[in-house]
Amino acid sequence: MGALSIILASLAFFALAYRLYGRYLAVRVFVVDPSRTTPAVRRRDDVDYVPADWRLLFGHHFVTIAGLGPIMGPAIAVIWGWLPALLWVLLGTVFMGAVHDLGALVVSVRREGRSIGDISEEYIGRRGRALFLAIIFFLLALAMGVFVLISARLLTEFYPEAVIPVFALIPIAVAMGHAIYRRGARILPATLVGVALMLVMIAVGIALPVRGVGFSAWVLILLVYAYFASTLPVWLLLQPRDYLNSFQQYLGVVLMLGGLCVLRPRIVAPAVSGIEGLPPIFPFLFITVACGAISGFHSLVSSGTTAKQLRSEGDALAIGYGGMLAEGVLAVLAILACTAGFRDAAAWRARYAGWETMSDLGAQMDAFVSGAGRFIAALGIPEPAARVFIAVVVVGFALTTLDSATRLLRYNIEEIGRGVRARALQNRLVSSLVAVLAIGYFAFMRIGGKPAGFSLWQLFGTSNQLLAGLAFIVITLYLSRARRRTRLFTIPMVLMLAASVWAIVLNLLRFLEAGAVHLLAAGAAILAIAVWLCAEAVITTVQGRK
């Protein structure tokens, strides 16, 4: 099968879905109203609530939801075969992920920019809200602890050339944010200058790789950065940094597409894998590929940072639904890089020899970087330079997710503080410190000789997809009370809850057999909370109808 035909067909499918299905949801189901005043305008404080131009916000939203997920998940999932992974990305993105992201964004905007966990109190009660916020806290702290570890490893062991371009983007972004919001600079000229400086720094990084900084030192540096990124006004660092970083992603996608047109590689991996010893494709394919199909983390981004910056409800379609489609394109490219980026079938089988080979997250990233570098090299760019550029994109993804997710965790802690009436936790400096300490716990603490984050990472996929199902509950109940159609949300809600709960049960049996007490306890707690939340939703709904 030719990789070029697959990506072209995927692009056409996504474009058609945006024009037909996305517009139908925005106009007919959610009835978005561009004249309605948004929380970003009504509650503007120039720290968290800042109305943003849709171009800035799209870039910020896209790189935040994308992160490493649409690369890591497909890089693993192709072990079941490229066809199941591709079908799940295409159908999941259009009919589940983009629906989920748009729904969370609109519901949050209609509820003063509150998070989906905080809003849940209206539909599943105070106990439900407390449980929802607890799952969000665990998910964000765990995921960002692992992202810190992966980023530190990528910078030390794999791509020291990425250090200068990644960190030089911070002062460039601050200067751009100041120029636009305080000096009245126009977006286009500021963007051209920022992107030019960013590309220059990539060239500098290739020429001057930074080595000698220890792994633990990088972890500390990243945690300090996350603290300041979560407390500074969103317009000063977070928004312009993510916006500029999005151009790296766009350039990477364009170069990969150009390389595919020139190289025209064929997929060397099997359509459906015959490798023995793999976990069952259901439910684990739907858990492994989260970002790139559907991810509960996206509901936190849509209802967290994005809803507080949406200038007009009319922008919700492009940002909420369109941002997820853009991530779907990246996931398709990741599938092709990990199946058509190998020289031959033997090379692919050597990398994907068995399920145990999927445990090394750094190796998964390297599989994507190698395949993408081969595509770009077809344009005449030296393959080592092409690989470094893709590595910069990958590390940039990790850091943009880290800084935004730390801010989301800060919001989560502040919402918990309001629930328990702890005024100290409602202070952004204190809540950010608590967030960074929680992330640092999963980065530094050890379980069985391994970082706690890596040990508990096996629970991330199920927790993340469980969160997507829970977010669908809130969105569905919101639409039900508004007398709107809910079937298009009920079906993905049931599928995600079923897949995540079934995956938790299978994991618990595996943890019990292996004697992994800490994983067994954490997994059992997540399962209990999931069942409890679903019960709370049913009880509240029945009582409301009575």
pLDDT at 363: 62
The tokens for 432 are 């950010």
Residue 329 banded pLDDT, cuts 50, 70, 90:
very high
Residues 6+ apart with CB under 8 A from 117: 129, 132, 133, 135, 136, 300, 412, 415
pLDDT at 360: 62
Radius of gyration for the alpha carbons in the chain, expressed in angstroms and rounded = 22
pLDDT at 544: 59
The tokens for 403 are 């800084």
Residue 200 CA to residue 192 CA, distance in Å, equals: 12
pLDDT at 367: 76
Residue 546 has pLDDT above 60, yes or no: no
Residue 176 has pLDDT above 80, yes or no: yes
CA atoms within 13 A on the CB side of 339: 33
* Other CB atoms within 10 A of residue 192 CB: 10
How does the average pLDDT of the chain come out, rounded?
90
Helix, strand, or coil (residue 312) = coil
Q: Output the DSSP codes for 494-524.
A: HHHHHHHHHHHHHHHHHHHHHT-HHHHHHHH
Q: Where are the alpha helices (DSSP H) in 353-486?
A: 361-377, 383-420, 428-444, 452-456, 460-481
Element (H, E) at 450: strand 450-451
Q: What's the angle, vertex CA 400, arms to CA 519 and CA 316, rounded to 5?
A: 100
Residue 437 has pLDDT above 80, yes or no: yes
Residue 536 CA to residue 521 CA, distance in Å, equals: 22
In SS3 terms, 339-382 reads as CCCCCCHHHHHHHCCCHHHHHCHHHHHHHHHHHHHHHHHCCCCC
Residue 393 has pLDDT above 90, yes or no: no
pLDDT at 502: 93
Residue 456 has pLDDT above 80, yes or no: no
Model confidence pTM above 0.85: yes
pLDDT at 362: 59
Residue 545 banded pLDDT, cuts 50, 70, 90:
low
Residue 81 CA to residue 348 CA, distance in Å, equals: 11
Residue 113 banded pLDDT, cuts 50, 70, 90:
very high
Residue 161 CA to residue 209 CA, distance in Å, equals: 4
Amino acid at 191: T
Amino acid at 241: R
Q: What's the angle, vertex CA 62, arms to CA 182 and CA 339, rounded to 5?
A: 145
Torsion, Cα of 303, 92, 76, 211 (10° steps)? -40
Residue 463 CA to residue 474 CA, distance in Å, equals: 17
pLDDT at 397: 77
The tokens for 243 are 């916006």
Which DSSP letter does residue 47 get? S
- Mean pLDDT (whole number) for 322-337: 95
Residue 212 banded pLDDT, cuts 50, 70, 90:
confident
Which tens digit of pLDDT belongs to each residue from 493-522? 999 999 999 999 999 998 899 888 888 998
Residue 385 banded pLDDT, cuts 50, 70, 90:
confident
Helix 383-420 × helix 428-444 angle, to 10°:
120
Residue 298 CA to residue 320 CA, distance in Å, equals: 9
Return contacts of 221-224, CB within 8 angstroms, 24+ apart.
222/148, 222/151, 222/152, 222/399, 222/402, 223/148, 223/436, 223/439, 223/440, 223/443
Over pLDDT 90: what percentage of the chain?
58
pLDDT at 364: 67
Residue 193 has pLDDT above 60, yes or no: yes
22 or 66, which is more confident:
22
Which tens digit of pLDDT belongs to each residue from 21-56? 999 999 999 999 999 999 999 999 999 999 999 999
Residue 462 has pLDDT above 80, yes or no: yes
Asked which of 103-117, 273-287, 363-377, 475-489 is least confident by mean pLDDT, the reply is 363-377
Q: Of 165, 193, 65, which is closest to residue 389 (Cα–Cα)? A: 165
Q: What are the C-alpha distances in Å from 88 to residues 93, 97, 173, 193, 320? A: 8, 11, 36, 39, 19
Residues 6+ apart with CB under 8 A from 227: 406, 432, 433, 436
Over pLDDT 70: what percentage of the chain?
98
Which tens digit of pLDDT belongs to each residue from 68-86? 778 888 988 999 999 999 9
- Across 261-290, b (16+ Cβ under 10 Å) vs e yields eebebebbbbeebeeeebbebebbbbbbbb
